[in-house]
Amino acid sequence: MELKRIRGATMREALYRVKKELGPDAVILHTRTAQTSGFLGLGRHTYVEILASKDVGFVGGASASVPRSGVPASSAADSKPEPAAIRPDVPAQDVDKALARYNSDLLVLKDDIMWIRSTLSDLSKRQRYFSGSGVPEEMMELYMYLLEQEVAEELAMELVQSIHEEIRQRSGIKPQEVRQLLHARIAALLEGCEPVKLVDGYNMKIALVGPTGVGKTTTIAKLAAEFSLVRKKKVSVITIDTYRIAAVDQIRTYMDIIDIPLEVVTSPREMKEAVARQRNSDVILIDTAGRSQKNAQQITELKSFLRAAEPDEVHLVLSTTANYKTTMDTIERFNDVTVDKLLFTKLDEAVNFGIILNVAARVGKRLSYVTTGQVVPDDIEPARSSRLADMVTGGFSV
Q: Dump pLDDT digits (tens) for 340-398.
A: 999 999 999 888 888 998 998 888 889 999 998 888 878 899 999 899 888 888 766 55
Instruction: For 8, list phi and psi in degrees, rounded to 5.
Output: -155, 160
Judged against a pLDDT cut of 50, whether residue 74 lies above it is answered with: no
CATH fourth-level superfamily of 204-382: P-loop containing nucleotide triphosphate hydrolases (3.40.50.300)
Peptide bond into 382 cis (omega under 30): no
pTM, entire model: 0.64
- pLDDT band for 17, please (50, 70, 90 cuts): confident
| Cβ within 8 Å of residue 293, ≥6 positions away | 211, 299, 329, 330, 332, 333, 334
| Cβ within 8 Å of residue 127, ≥6 positions away | none
Whole-angstrom CA distances from 299 to 180, 190, 294, 328, 358 are 42, 28, 9, 16, 24
- Would you kindly state where each structural domain of the chain is located, as residue ranges? 3-112, 134-189, 204-382
